[in-house]
Amino acid sequence: MGMLCIGITSCSQIPALGQSSLSGDLRMNGKQVEAAFEEQRLILQQSSAAIYRNRKPIGYGVVMSTDGYILVKNSELFELNEELKDTLKNDLTIIIDEERHVGIKLIASDTEWDLAVIKIDAENLIPIQWAEHAEINQGTWVVTNGSSSMKHRRVNVGIISANAREVKGAPPVMLGLALLDDKEAKGIKITQVADNSGAKEAGVLKGDIIKAFDGQDVTTREQIIEIIREKKPGDFVDVKMLRKDKIETLSMELRPRSEIAGDETQAKTKNDAMSGKFSARRDSFPKALQHDIDQAPRQTGGPLLDLEGKAVGINIARANRAESFAIPAKEALIVYKKLIKAAE
């Protein structure tokens, strides 16, 4: 039990599910882990909806009422295409437990939060129970849907890795650099330089340590991101860097994302490129919980459970290889009630 107590307030929070210490290769998967979280798996089986389009899994939803109202991730379901909504919803199959439902109605959607409410003809469904606490602490264990068959749900397990916060949109320009905070060097290490970037043209090299950016001393990549949010394509910035014990200052052009990343809406580092697909919409959320569960885009949209089986949020995006986001329970319920009221 000791291994599963890490990151939570006390071991008494863990349901008596027979959790035991596991070898490293079995801690995040395997039959023992699934058995330890069987109670949460059953909740996911009964109170979350698996969504298929032409027998292909495309996402999950949260059962909100006994008569078939379901909260889902909007963009994953409708592919960010308003014109196709009516066509796409006719191709959807919803599976709750082992029951299949067709004939989905789109009730309403909220693009700011990327949430939508759909309706199926059903009765006697088991709605999800939402956590009453407004905040969930960093390090708390959470459980969600993993890869599932049409009949049997599987679980994914992880922890809350950052407190709820606004997830801002990507800046309109790109440096074309992969950056790593380097505490020892008191700067930001450049680990990759994109070929089409202004940085490459200016002579920036892999291994350089950024010490100042646009006239401001910096020690974290987040500081640089905040600075370039205010910039526009074609702007130049001066970058002071440490290179082999010497200080170099270069002026680099900030270029549009499309010019550097090609068809990708956001450039990927080499590590990210090996980590599978990310959600098409993965930023610009007014508030989101961050957790470390490695989930594919088709696994978003379902409930994020605590160890008591209560939903602390609805999964909204896989952002990168280390970050997944969920809209917190309080905000998700506010949006749901607003959408239902608007539809009425």
The predicted structure's pLDDT at residue 269: 53
Measure the N-to-C terminal CA separation of the chain; round to a whole number of Å: 49
SS3 content of the chain, % helix, strand, coil (to 5): 25, 35, 40
Please state, rounded to an integer, the average pLDDT across all residues of the chain. 84
The predicted structure's pLDDT at residue 232: 85
Domain ranges of the chain: 1-165+270-344, 173-261
The hierarchical CATH code for the domain 173-261 is 2.30.42.10
Residue among 258, 84, 267, 159 nearest 74 (CA): 84
In DSSP terms, which residues pair with 60 in a beta bridge? 50
Residue holding tokens 């939570």? 8
Matching CATH topology for 1-165+270-344 and 173-261? no
As a whole number of angstroms, the distance between CA 189 and CA 149 comes to: 43
280: enclosing H helix or E strand:
none
As a whole number of angstroms, the distance between CA 45 and CA 57 comes to: 15
DSSP code of residue 231: -
Whether the CB-CB separation of 209 and 219 falls below 8 Å is answered with: no
Q: How many CB atoms lie within 10 A of CB 21?
A: 11
The residue length of the chain stands at 344
Q: Coil, strand, or helix at residue 325?
A: strand
As a whole number of angstroms, the distance between CA 286 and CA 280 comes to: 17
Average pLDDT per 10 consecutive residues for the chain, totaling 344 residues: 41 43 56 86 96 89 97 77 56 92 90 92 97 86 89 92 88 86 93 92 95 95 90 92 94 84 51 66 91 91 96 94 93 96 86
pTM comes to: 0.69
In the chain, which residue ranges form alpha helices assigned H by DSSP? 31-36, 38-47, 74-78, 85-90, 198-202, 221-228, 257-261, 270-273, 329-343
pLDDT tens digits for 57-68?
999 999 999 999
The predicted structure's pLDDT at residue 13: 46
The predicted structure's pLDDT at residue 80: 41
Half-sphere exposure of 172 (CA within 13 A, CB side): 6
* Tokens found for residue 339: 């959408």
* Tokens found for residue 147: 């890869």
The predicted structure's pLDDT at residue 162: 92
E-strand spans in 218-278?
A: 236-243, 246-253, 255-256
In one letter, which amino acid is 293? Answer: I
In DSSP terms, which residues pair with 328 in a beta bridge? 313
Q: Which CATH class is domain 1-165+270-344?
A: mainly beta
